[in-house]
Amino acid sequence: MKVIDHINSAKSTLVSFEILPPLKGKTINSIYDHLDPLMEFKPSFINVTYHRSEFVFKKKADGTFEKVEVRKRPGTVGICAAIMNHYHVDAVPHLICGGFNKRETEDALIDLNFIGCDNVLVLRGDAAKNETNFEPEPGGNKYAIDLLKQTVNLNNGIYLEEDIREGFRTNFCIGVAGYPEKHFEAPNLENDLSHLKAKVDAGAEYITTQMFFNNQKYFEFVDACRAAGITVPIIPGLKPLTSKKQMTVIPRTFHVDLPSEFSNEIIKCKTDLEVEKVGTDWLIHQSKELKKAGVPVLHYYTLGKPRVIYNAVKEIF
Ligand code: FAD
């Protein structure tokens, strides 16, 4: 079932989770161990992130270094199939432009269609670790909107091969990312919103937001989207903060602020266990307020912290 149909048929706020594929070498059981306790909350869908390969330098026997390409977290399509079969819950694979050409993207979309997946969240991806700015692959998509248009084409039976005139029409419900605190490369929110509107006008049916720790940012973002003519559902993305280190890592990595009321509490903590308690309480407070405001879905980035998410979500659903 499509994400948009879940939202449209819901009587109250839904819950969804996001997971990362396991590191190469681990089994699918690590995903089941992660998700099993969370299934108690009957998530409407589960997102699975997508990861490009990266270059690492490996030391050789003679002491010199060799540049090697590794894809640490493959398996998004397979994990989606596993989730759908094992739990009978809809999976939402993320697809990114970075690291993939259009042909590889088309093949991934065909695989997703063949496993019965009718959802996809399309993203640009970030710059590769060895690059300063995002560079598309030769023959790849440059912006999320280009990947979105490729997916819409497939929904219309238009494949890259020109001799496939009337190919099978896929039926993907397409979601896109939005940034309550602005995408870090955008010169201002207005400019960022114009690109977000273009994605919606091109066929995106809903928006999932970057994490935020101040609900006011989300509410203002929704207001700004509505004023800009963006009418689709906007799903808030939420993440728990669980260590003191994250107080600097999260703003640096995700370009989001922590409200001082929250950071002041974290600073007072003596151990990460205390931080986890403060972070869980903050997540519960955010979730309750958002649910009261009638958001369509509470989407939790579980990112290796299923126990913390469990403890928070059990207070809400
Ligand atoms: P875009 O929509 O392409 O926007 C990127 C930037 O370009 C923005 O500043 C935008 O304003 C600007 N822009 C857009 N279109 C144009 C245009 N036509 N001309 C000029 N400027 C333009 N990354 C992963 O690698 N894997 C994941 O699984 C993943 N999942 C994510 C899930 C969510 C909910 C979110 C919020 C992010 C996720 N990311 C993931 C990170 C994401 O890939 C990065 O934030 C990336 O930098 C931007 O992706 P985007 O889809 O928003 O890009």
pLDDT tens-digit series, residues 195-228: 999 999 999 999 999 999 999 999 999 999 999 9
pLDDT one-digit tens code per residue, 121-130: 999 999 988 8
Q: How far lies 148's CA from each of 120, 122, 134, in Å?
A: 9, 6, 18
Residue 305 has pLDDT above 90, yes or no: no
Q: What is the mean pLDDT of residues 234-260?
A: 97
Q: CA 229 to CA 28: how far, in whole Å?
A: 42
CATH number for the region 3-240+297-304 comes to 3.20.20.220
| Per-residue model confidence (pLDDT) at position 99 | 93
**Protein residue closest via CA to atom 22 of ligand 1:** 195
- 309, 276 in Cβ contact below 8 A? no
Choose which residue among 51, 97, 123 to substitute to test ligand 1 binding: the one with the highest number of ligand atoms within 8 A of its C-beta. Answer: 123
Structural contact between residues 96 and 125, judged by C-beta atoms closer than 8 angstroms: yes
The CA distance from 281 to 297, in Å, is 19
Answer whether residue 78 shows pLDDT above 90. Answer: yes
H runs (alpha helix) in the chain = 3-9, 29-35, 76-87, 102-114, 144-155, 189-201, 215-227, 246-254, 260-268, 272-292, 306-313
Residue 303 Cβ inside 6 Å of ligand 1? The answer reads no
Amino acid, single-letter form, for residue 317: F
Q: Do 237 and 303 contact (CB within 8 A), yes or no? A: no
Question: Ligand 1: distance of its center to the CA of 177 in Å?
Answer: 6
pLDDT of residue 241: 96
pTM equals 0.97
Cα radius of gyration (the chain): 20
The fraction of the chain above a pLDDT of 90, given in percent, is 92
Nearest CA-CA partner of 175 in 298, 230, 93, 82: 93
